[in-house]
Amino acid sequence: MKLPTLAAIATILLAGAPAYAFRCGDKLVDEGDTRTEVRSKCGEPVEIIRKSILRAPVYWWRGRPIRIGTELVEVPVEIWLYNFGPDKLMRRLRFEDGELVDIETLGYGY
């Protein structure tokens, strides 16, 4: 294959997966997944950090957040670290209230 053809194929493949998702083997991990879904796709993380944050309650209407009241509610947060070895990039996943909300790509594993 010529280089332009390979570049076109790579572009199509990369465009098919959202930027906020990654693969564990042949399974896709995506924002919105639950802890159980991620654990079944990727196995146990090498590290879990648990904490909580205070946030105003929000109701989403037509894609926009609407605050409900003035009191803050406690939201459980977990940070999971996956190390897939020295040939692959590590991932840091942030769960809020049991739902995956952020995927961060780190350097190569160890």
**Residue range 36-90, pLDDT digits in tens:** 999 999 999 999 999 999 988 888 888 898 888 888 999 999 999 999 999 999 9
Question: What percentage of residues in the chain have a pLDDT greater than 90?
Answer: 60
Could you give the percent of the chain with pLDDT greater than 70? 83
* Angle 93-109-78 from CA coordinates, rounded to 5°: 20
Handedness of CA 90, 75, 71, 32 (dihedral sign): positive
Tokens of 84: 């897939």
Whole-number Å distance between alpha carbons of 20 and 71: 31
CA distance 105 to 92: 6
**Which of these, 45, 44, 68, lies nearest to 56 by C-alpha position?**
68
> Is the pLDDT assigned to residue 93 strictly greater than 90?
yes
Per-residue confidence (pLDDT) for residue 54, from 0 to 100? 92
Instruction: Using the predicted structure, report yes or no on whether residue 7 has a pLDDT greater than 80.
Output: no
Q: What is the pLDDT of residue 17?
A: 46
> So what's the pLDDT on residue 107?
94
Phi, psi of 18, deg, nearest 5: -65, 155
